[in-house]
Each structure stands twice: as structure tokens, then as C-alpha cells.
Chains A and B, each alone.
Chain A
């Protein structure tokens, strides 16, 4: 176990180096001149030169790369170009809002899709199964945007069940007043693809020999489904949840934009629109790191959940 852990951590280094290189050269080669972005439209050439000097843009490329690496390792990204807010401060203040919305979405999504998927997989080929499959296909073909636009209009503007948008200082108020509508809409949209995926996992298990054996032994369908099939199908399902975990940190930026939730996703989008390079670079590199760590944690969790899994 320890040897495995060390090797996996060791393997992360080249990948992380690749992420740093990719981000560095992407912005270096195609990103335009940061000094001109910073200086604005009215900057004189002297001012632009001064900014360039200050940012170290006149140094050779490898020196700049070294500065960039030092920033990554030292967790010091300086300040946002647009708001002059420290990038670390930005992370700390935006992340809670994102998690307040995204964690309930992830949990509800899984809990709702699971029983539906099991039910339709059990009745494979029946009218219910086909109807659910057709409905999910059609539901999937409509853009997420449409659901949010219509949902916000109907539930918040017309019916007045929820506030149209907003956010407060208190976690409790946020969870109970502002988060429900975005969460509801995201879960409604997320259920269709999730159900399809989980259905295929259940179908995989239902075709196995042990299911036939269990039925042949005369076990009730309930026992077969809940004791045998569910436990085995949970493994790929949990793997899928693990894959989604890194995503909750960026959040559903669309939801954050629509409902004016001051989260990380909205902040990144703002940064893209303002050409605020330090923010985009920092978020990209750190979320890549986080993704790798979470993937490792998921793999370890599997080892604990399923003794058949061999870590290599």
C-alpha cells in the first residue's frame, strides 16, 4: 500500500510538470501581451514598457518559466490584474459558495438516479424501459441553458416559489433560500445522463452468472437486486461519482452566472472575459493538482471497498 502510494505520487510529478508547461506556453504563445492588457487602451508606450519590465517580460523565456514554476510551488500567484485581489484570497472567498451549491447537487443526483436506473434496468426491454430511454434522449437533446432559463422564469419569476437570484453571508440562509432552485434545476438536468449510465452498469451486472445462480436458488427478486446486484453495481457507480468530484470545485459556472452566485466558476468566467491571466492560470494548475489527488483517493477507496481490486 505504502509503496503504491509513493509510486502514484511520484508519477504525478511529470503530469503536473506537463500541466505547468501547457498553461505557461499556451498563454505565452497565444495569449497576447499581458503588458498591453494591464496598461489598458490609454497607456503610453513608456508605461507599457514599464509594466513589461515589472512583470519580467523582458527576461528570456526560461527565466520567465522559472518564475512561473516558483509561483506554482510557492502557492503565490500575486494579485488579480482586474481587481487587485490576492489570488489566494479569491480562492478562499469563492469556493464556499460553489461547494454550497455543488455538493447537494452531486449527492441528490446520485441518490435520485440510482433507484430509477435500477428499476428500468430490471424491466429491460419493457415499455417503461423504452419510454424512459426515449424521454432521456429527448431531454438530453435540449440544452442545459433552456432548462435554466425556463426554470428560473417559471419557478422564480412567475410562481414566486424561490428568489430569482441572490446570495447571502450565512451558509444556512444560502442553503435554504438561495440554493434550492439552482440545485433543483441542476438535478433535474443531471438525472437523464446519470440514469442512462447507471442503467448500463446495472445491466452489466444483471447479465452475470451469479445473478442466475441466485435466482436459481430461489431467492426473491428483492434480495437478488438489493443484496447482490446493487452491491456490485455500486463499484462503477462510485467510480463515476469519483470522476465527478473534481468538477464540483469549478462548479456549474452556468448556474453561478444565472443565479448570481459568487462562486469560483463565475469568477473564472469573469477572468476569461477580462483577460485576467493570473486567475485563470492559478485555477487551472491547482484544479489539475486537486484532480490528480482526488483520483488517487478514489483508487484507494476502491481498494477498501472491493477486495478484488489489485493496486498496481
Chain B
């Protein structure tokens, strides 16, 4: 995000008048909360990139700790009475080799067993953020879950933005029959309560990460459509667009080379808002079993497991997933607010 803005700022600096991106970056730099949030978001992006590349949390499925291992800070759980397995018998050893029918073969088996090397996997008593029911590292799960949850949110936001922008541009630019048709489609999607639309799509689309992205993409584009359409209606009669028409610019060129860059800041802000909404939606869908599959992990599946663990007093998975989600979503929301304030100073402090 900031890389794009910096590049735009460099170009703008050479121009005579200050470009919209340059001005926005200048305002954004002055917003300390926004900058701080952006740094947090960038840190998360690095973490996600590392997880996607397999540098961290690749073996999140390994059962490295004892089941429900507590966080390191709390220290190892005191061994409960009766937890130590079978007590070893007291009293002197009795030699049974004369009546044990298997006795002659013990030596042979030992020889054969020696050919294989078994490794006792030491299960750790504590893990940095605790372990889950199977002893998997909660920290690794949370990192991998961040990757999936954020990927779903961003991918669906990109998809919904694409559909909404395309249809909104067509409807706003051409109006007339095309506009009426698209308005009709919009009204149809709007008249169904959002959650029912999601359920209806979930009933027919398969499960898994791709499924969630498809569902959210096709149910979430309407707000973007509405806004882009309004912007295109406003811009299509402006003088610069008419000038472009006068010198023979095609409709497509006017739409996407002239108008689109001028409304792109609106689209960017709306897309960030969509991403936040979709990340939350993915969590709920995954919790309900309509989201990612069991061999994957997301914040939603972590919360689903955490519900049962909480009753037993194992609160760390819930806390970790919540912490990761809260930090990321708060930073992302604040950065989006700052971005909107920077791009559209008139709105500052309103919402």
C-alpha cells in the first residue's frame, strides 16, 4: 500500500500541481495513528508472506506438545494424581523364563528391533502460546490461520471490487437500457437479506477456501457497484471526459483510462472496508462449518475448537486467535480510516 503511494508521490512531485495521491500521502504522513496502524498491517503482511512461503508455521500440524499444553508463562501443569500411568509393581523380580513360552525368542526379537531406529519424540510440557487438544502449537496455528483468513478476506474483496467496479462503470457510464438492466440485477441482490444470500450460495458452492471466496465475492459486490455507479454518473458529464470524447477517445478508453483513475481512491477505501467485513464473515462461516476444510486452519476453525476447550479451562487458543484477529482488524480499520481521511479530507471525523 505504502509502496504504491510512494511511487505515486514521486511522480506527482515532478508535476506542477499536486496530484491526488501526492496530496493524500502528504496528509497520511501527518496522521500518526494511521502510520502506526500501517506499520502493524505491513508487519502482518510480512508474517503472512513468510507463512505462505513456508518459512514459519509450515509444520503447524505437528503435535509438538502434550495435549492442551499450557502457555510457557503459566508453567507446566502439575501432574494430576493418577495421571502417571500404571504404577510399576513393587517387590523382587521373578524369573519366569522357564515357564514363559515366548522366552526363547526374546533375544531374536531384540536383535530385529535393533535394526530399526525409533526416536522418542519428546513432547514439550509447555508451548509459547499453549497447545491445542492434539498438542499442536497454538502460535503456529494462529500464524497459519492469519494467512488463510486474511487471504480469504483480501481475495474476496478483490473479486467483489472487480465485479462491482465493472458493473458500476457500465451502469453509470452508459445508463439507459444497460443501466436499467444492471439496476434490476442490483435490486434483486439487494432485496434478499445478505445472510440468506450467503446461505443460499453456501448451499450450492462447495466447501473450502475457494468456496468461501466465491460466496463472499458474489454476495458482497452490491455496495461497491452502487458507489462506483454514482461516481461514474457524476464524472461522465464532466468536461475532461467530454474533451476526451471530442478528440475521439473510445467509450472503453474514457471509462477506464480517464474516469477510473479519478475515482480509484473511492474504490480503494471501499475495498479496504470490504476486506475487513469479509475477514469477519469468513470467521463466522468457518465456525459454522461452511468455510475452510478441517485440514486447514483459520481464525474461525480455531474459535470453533476453542469453544469446547474453554469449558475444560483451556482458554489459550481462544485468547490467541482473538488477539491475532483483534490486532490485525483494528490496525487495518484504523489504517483504512486514515486512508479515507487522507483521500477525502471533507469526510474527516464524521464516521
Contact = CB atoms under 8 A, between A and B. Distances in A.
Interface string B201-226: 11111000000000000000000000
Interface string B315-343: 00010001001101110011000000000
Nearest to A164: B311
B280 interface: yes
* Contact-residue size bin, chain A (C-beta under 8 Å from the other chain): 35 or more
Given A23-B200, A146-B322, A250-B196, A141 B329 contact: yes
B349 A257 contact: no
A163 interface: no
Interface in A242-281: 246-247, 249-250, 253-254, 257, 265, 268-269, 271-273, 275, 277, 280-281
B193 A143 contact: no
Contacts of A141: 325-326, 328-330, 333
B326 A142 contact: yes
A124 B349 contact: yes
Nearest to B307: A149
A268 B318 contact: no
B290 interface: yes
Given A137-B334, A250-B195, A272 B202 contact: yes
A217 B67 CA distance: 71
Interface in B253-281: 280
A66 interface: no
Given A137-B330, A280-B199, A26 B204 contact: yes
Q: Which 4 A-B pairs have the closest CB atoms?
A: A18-B188, A141-B329, A30-B204, A141-B330
Interface of B: 184-185, 187-189, 191-193, 195-197, 199-205, 280, 283-284, 287-290, 299-300, 303, 306-307, 310-311, 318, 322, 325-326, 328-330, 333-334, 349-351
Interface of A: 14-16, 18-19, 21-23, 26-27, 30-32, 124-125, 137-138, 140-146, 149-150, 153, 157, 196-197, 200, 203-204, 246-247, 249-250, 253-254, 257, 265, 268-269, 271-273, 275, 277, 280-281, 283-284, 287-288, 291-292
